[in-house]
């Protein structure tokens, strides 16, 4: 189980623009890596739009925002364009980063249990260590919560 203070698990994933992004490439910056169940769903749209609206504030604090789900690169690109998102969305259909960050867990819906992606976030410091974890984030208000945590860490 990943804990605050641990070295953040490395990742290299395809992004919505067809390129790849790795944690190593972002060394020296804060990284907000948030996981969401599925692009273009109501809760994921709310969360993404709130991060979009606060991006300038994150930029001022030397923080990169990355959204990640198991959606295809094409689905991520479509979601990004439709919502006018100003940060990268990562595609992880093999669940490599999703599982490394403990974001794939048992969930329940309408009385049925299933393995799914839990809305969660890791705030990674410039040194590559996990500064803060949100194991079960809410879609509404979460971006502001992460921004406030980042401000207190500065």
> Considering the entire predicted model, what is its pTM?
0.96
The string of pLDDT tens digits covering residues 95-150 is 999 999 999 998 887 888 989 999 999 999 999 999 999 999 999 999 999 999 99
* Structure confidence at residue 97 (pLDDT): 98
Give the Cα-Cα-Cα angle 68, 50, 78 (nearest 5 degrees).
50
Class of the CATH-defined domain 28-153: alpha beta
Which positions are annotated as active-site residues? 44
Task: Indicate the domain borders of the chain.
Answer: 28-153
Give the closest residue to 35 by CA, choosing from 7, 2, 6.
2
CB distance 34 to 121 below 8 Å: yes
| pLDDT (mean) for 33-48 | 95
In whole angstroms, give the CA distance from residue 139 to residue 39.
Answer: 13
């Amino acid at each position: 189980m990943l804990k605050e203070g641990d070295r953040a698990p490395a990742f290299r994933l395809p992004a919505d623009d067809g390129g790849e992004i790795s944690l190593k490439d972002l060394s020296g910056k804060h990284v907000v890596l948030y996981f969401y169940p599925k692009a273009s769903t109501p809760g994921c749209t709310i969360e993404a739009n709130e991060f979009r609206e606060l991006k300038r504030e994150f930029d001022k604090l030397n923080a990169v925002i990355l959204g990640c789900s198991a959606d295809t690169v094409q689905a991520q690109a479509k979601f990004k364009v439709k919502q006018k998102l100003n940060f990268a969305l990562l595609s992880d259909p093999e669940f490599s980063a999703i599982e490394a960050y403990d974001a794939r867990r048992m969930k329940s819906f309408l009385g049925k249990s299933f393995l799914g992606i839990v809305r969660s976030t890791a705030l990674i410091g410039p040194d590559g260590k996990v500064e803060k974890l949100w194991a079960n984030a809410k879609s509404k208000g979460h971006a502001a919560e992460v921004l406030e945590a980042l401000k207190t860490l500065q």
